[in-house]
Structure 1
Amino acid sequence: MNIAVCFNDKIKGIVSLPASKSISNRILILNALADSPLEIENLSDCDDTKSMLQVLQSDVNYFDIGHAGTAMRFLTAFLSRIVGIWDLTGSERMKQRPIGVLVDALNRLGAHIEYREQVGFPPLRIYGSYLRGGEISIPASVSSQYISALMMIAPYMAEGLRLRLTGKVVSRKYIDMTVALMRFFGAEIETNGDFIKIAPLPYTPVPFRVESDWSAASYFYELLAIAEGGEITLTGLEKESLQGDAGQVYVWEKLGVKSSWQGDKLMLRKKEVEIRFLEFNFVEMPDLVQSFAVACCMNGIPFSFSGVETLRIKETDRITALITELRKLGYELSTEGEGVLKWEGTLALPEKNICIETYHDHRMAMAFAPAALKHPGMVIVDKEVVSKSFADYWKELQKLGLEIEEVK
């Protein structure tokens, strides 16, 4: 279903954020490996987590996880040490997202995984069995999820795992998150720069409550950054969070949004914009590039964003998607090599009847919705796509004055 969106003048209200998808999906794997009978509190209800649960609770051996990239990576590793023959596939876009780095690493550690169609890509046939483990090197420049997937099953390898990361490490904060959660379940891990050593010591079941999602918070920061004024209260976030996206607070301050804690609530208030140009390396917060790109364009703030290499292999090619859709709004973005996205202030005539394609990507829909403050009546295609990480996104925006009209 497509929707036309616009906002009332006053942006004020309380927002309930979803549970962290990144933490939920890791905890599900750790909990399953620990054979834990304990309940996980505040588990995410997003599509990715539902896909994980479907597989972990299933008694069949064929799994279609749709667009759920995290589930594809984590389950590939998980199923490689569960005795049985498993077929793992996904959407047509998932079949275009590379997984060869992970599969090659697992096969070197004793797994037996075959490609069912194109070499290096899903679908996969996984022959789950004994994993020897040992020492390997793995390129860390493609996706930190490959590394997290290997790490989480490492305590169940006969020799444990000694992992050497090569090349530029992207999204290191997500690796740090995995380390912290594994230690919470009793794993023995040593880290030394780009070397990680994990002992063959099974996990211990522990109770766990998932914190709210800092990635989801970015869309409300973005909304205030674009608005003339307002105040938003966010609930459920942790000040000392495991999530790397918590670092966004300091960047939004430059774009005119002040954060302050009142107990367990985070208050966002509009303030003066501090900068006329934003230069930032998003290697630790790649999921927030869309929010910041749209906010900067709506405020006429040119930018240069580095560390965006991994956006090419997300739910869509997010670099191309941003350039295409922001062009519809009148902004001419460009790239510099593979790792830099830029807007130098170049403008074009916006389209008359703006229709934003989302490319099966939840973050395209959520990042472009706040642009309705400047382009009322713009249409966003496939509003249900947000269910991948934030099923109640439109309801939460309506609390803040969003008006929605269903259109063909």
Structure 2
Amino acid sequence: MKYIVSTQNKTVNGNIDLPASKSISNRVLIINALCYNPYPVHNLSDSDDTCVLKKALFSNQNKFDIGHAGTAMRFLTAFLSKIVGEWEVTGSQRMKQRPIGILANALTQLGAKIEYLEKEGFPPIKIYGSHLKGKTLELDGSISSQYISALLMIAPTIENGLTLKLKGEVTSQSYIDLTLKLMARFGIQYNWNKNIIHVPEQNYLPGEFTVEADWSGASYWYQIAALAEKGEVLLKNLQLDSLQGDVTIAGWFEQFGVKSEQKKDGVLLIKTENIKPEKLTLDFLENPDMAQTFACLCVAQKVPFHFSGLKTLKIKETDRIFALQNELAKFGAALTEPSDGELAWDGNFDSAAEGKIPLIKTYHDHRMALAFAPLALAGFKMEIDDPMVVTKSYPSFWEDLKKIDFQIENMTS
């Protein structure tokens, strides 16, 4: 399936029901399972990732196929390691290329037994769940924060708790902070001093919880507002006082003339002036999922950029550095990788790409479709391959674009 995406609109106005936060939903599902919480979770995300995790946690099976859901793979690996029984977890071909060895090795030091069923260090895996005993673990801080979050969530429920010493620069620290703040909402006490996190053995306290709107989903509407000449968009259930680290982007987008106002029912985006930076320099160490949004925005706005803090992008749903280079080249923008974890563009276009309607590959990565579609506001007409990949995090995305007069033409092949 392919969608042709275009729009003649230059002014955007609308009210958008954003999806609930996938990051919060998935963490609360694990916490609920750990404390056998009888209370409901309100406004749970309907994304593929959350649905897959929920299905596994409520299943009476012992074999789980989590598809492309990396969060589910990491969180389930830790969770099942302490649940007595034999469990198998597999996923898509891409998931089988995404490493799990660092997490599995850490869990093994706590007493878990994990076997690799195909390739050492990668899914699919077999887990022999058992009693775990806490200790002090040293981990490279630059690894995926999902490994660290997976360990932290089970920490209160294992004997003697857990201490994590994170070595070097910590990547996506905001997601670790999100995990700990959610644990605290359910009664957990912890200490985080410099790069050492200690979680004593203790009980989670069950209770009701309402999931807030997703800031990563909001980023595409900020991008749309930045590309529009003017307009106002209300993003319902979004909070500027948010647990999510990606709330930082509200300040970043002010450089593109987008202001944010907290209203009773959400955040109002206001675009009244057409401004942009001469060059954009950003460190995505805390917000790596925002890189595609800003790379696409800068190319559309002809803003040279230099991004850093992107080391984890190569082990996401796809190699996002490679994917961005490949697909933005179809618009005539040649992105470079000055060094590992960096991405840059000098602002020059290859005129040979002008007038063409590119086919944008999504590589089974929802954020490729989500970040590229708004470029229609900059006058680019494009085809999006495998457009329903957006269901991983934002199932209603295409219908929401139609609300602001985007034309979405289904070209089923």
**Residues 270-281 of structure 1: pairs in structure 2 closer than 5 A:** 270=271, 271-281=273-283
Q: 2:37 maps to which residue?
A: 36
In the TM superposition, residue 265 of structure 1 has moved relative to its aligned partner by: 2.3
Q: Which amino acid aligns with 1:131?
A: L
Give the Cα separation in 2 of the matches to 1:142 and 1:197.
19
Give the Cα separation in 2 of the matches to 1:375 and 1:3.
16
Q: 1:131 maps to which residue?
A: 132
In the TM superposition, residue 346 of structure 1 has moved relative to its aligned partner by: 2.2
Helix, strand or coil at the partner of 1:110: coil
Q: 2:208 maps to which residue?
A: 207
Which of 342, 345, 348 lines up with 2:347 in the alignment?
A: 345
Give the Cα separation in 2 of the matches to 1:377 and 1:277.
25
Q: Is the 8 A contact 2:357 2:382 kept in 1?
A: yes
Which of 282, 285, 289 lines up with 2:284 in the alignment?
A: 282
Q: 1:388 maps to which residue?
A: 392
Give the Cα separation in 1 of the matches to 2:256 and 2:334.
20
Give the Cα separation in 1 of the matches to 2:240 and 2:409.
36
Q: 1:293 maps to which residue?
A: 295
Helix, strand or coil at the partner of 2:407: strand
Q: Which amino acid aligns with 2:400?
A: E
Give the Cα separation in 1 of the matches to 2:67 and 2:75.
14
In the TM superposition, residue 7 of structure 1 has moved relative to its aligned partner by: 1.3
Q: 2:403 maps to which residue?
A: 399
Give the Cα separation in 1 of the matches to 2:124 and 2:167.
26
Question: Does residue 1:372 correspond to 2:373, yes or no?
Answer: no
In the TM superposition, residue 319 of structure 1 has moved relative to its aligned partner by: 0.5
Q: 1:187 maps to which residue?
A: 188
Give the Cα separation in 2 of the matches to 1:160 and 1:128.
17
Please list every run of 5 or more consecutive structure 2 residues that lacks an aligned counterpart in the other structure.
none
In the TM superposition, residue 229 of structure 1 has moved relative to its aligned partner by: 2.2
**Residues 7-22 of structure 1: pairs in structure 2 closer than 5 A:** 7-9=7-9, 10-22=11-23
Give the Cα separation in 2 of the matches to 1:350 and 1:139.
42
Helix, strand or coil at the partner of 2:275: coil
Q: 1:172 maps to which residue?
A: 173
Q: Is the 8 A contact 1:101 1:139 kept in 2?
A: no
Give the Cα separation in 1 of the matches to 2:404 and 2:230.
12
Give the Cα separation in 1 of the matches to 2:381 and 2:335.
23
Q: 2:92 maps to which residue?
A: 91
In the TM superposition, residue 274 of structure 1 has moved relative to its aligned partner by: 4.5
Q: 2:359 maps to which residue?
A: 355
In the TM superposition, residue 297 of structure 1 has moved relative to its aligned partner by: 0.7
Question: Does residue 1:4 correspond to 2:7, yes or no?
Answer: no
Q: 1:332 maps to which residue?
A: 334
Q: Which amino acid aligns with 2:55?
A: Q
Helix, strand or coil at the partner of 2:353: coil
In the TM superposition, residue 107 of structure 1 has moved relative to its aligned partner by: 0.2
Helix, strand or coil at the partner of 1:237: coil
In the TM superposition, residue 384 of structure 1 has moved relative to its aligned partner by: 0.8
Give the Cα separation in 1 of the matches to 2:337 and 2:228.
28
Q: 1:162 maps to which residue?
A: 163
Helix, strand or coil at the partner of 1:36: coil
In the TM superposition, residue 170 of structure 1 has moved relative to its aligned partner by: 0.3
Give the Cα separation in 2 of the matches to 1:350 and 1:274.
24
In the TM superposition, residue 260 of structure 1 has moved relative to its aligned partner by: 1.6
Give the Cα separation in 2 of the matches to 1:289 and 1:39.
34
In the TM superposition, residue 188 of structure 1 has moved relative to its aligned partner by: 2.0
Give the Cα separation in 2 of the matches to 1:226 and 1:296.
10
CA-to-aligned-CA distance 1:285-316 (integer Å, 9 cap, x gap): 11111011111110110000100111100000
Give the Cα separation in 2 of the matches to 1:253 and 1:375.
22
Aligned residues between the structures: 408
Q: Is the 8 A contact 1:362 1:389 kept in 2?
A: yes
Q: Is the 8 A contact 2:229 2:274 kept in 1?
A: no
In the TM superposition, residue 376 of structure 1 has moved relative to its aligned partner by: 4.3
In the TM superposition, residue 33 of structure 1 has moved relative to its aligned partner by: 0.4
In the TM superposition, residue 406 of structure 1 has moved relative to its aligned partner by: 1.0
**Residues 229-308 of structure 1: pairs in structure 2 closer than 5 A:** 229-270=230-271, 271-308=273-310
Give the Cα separation in 2 of the matches to 1:341 and 1:274.
19
Give the Cα separation in 1 of the matches to 2:61 and 2:385.
34
Helix, strand or coil at the partner of 2:268: strand
Q: Which amino acid aligns with 2:316?
A: K
Q: 1:113 maps to which residue?
A: 114
Give the Cα separation in 1 of the matches to 2:146 and 2:19.
21
CA-to-aligned-CA distance 1:82-136 (integer Å, 9 cap, x gap): 0100000000000000111100000001111111111111111000010011111
Give the Cα separation in 1 of the matches to 2:151 and 2:200.
13
Give the Cα separation in 2 of the matches to 1:353 and 1:25.
37
Q: Which amino acid aligns with 1:5?
A: V
Q: Is the 8 A contact 2:4 2:384 kept in 1?
A: yes
Give the Cα separation in 1 of the matches to 2:65 and 2:169.
32
Q: Which runs of at least 4 in structure 1 moved beyond 4 Å after TM superposition?
A: none
Give the Cα separation in 2 of the matches to 1:145 and 1:267.
31
Helix, strand or coil at the partner of 1:336: coil
CA-to-aligned-CA distance 1:150-181 (integer Å, 9 cap, x gap): 00001111111011111210000111111111
Question: TM-score with structure 2 length normalisation?
Answer: 0.97
Please list every run of 5 or more consecutive structure 1 residues that lacks an aligned counterpart in the other structure.
none
Please provide the CA RMSD for this pair.
1.1
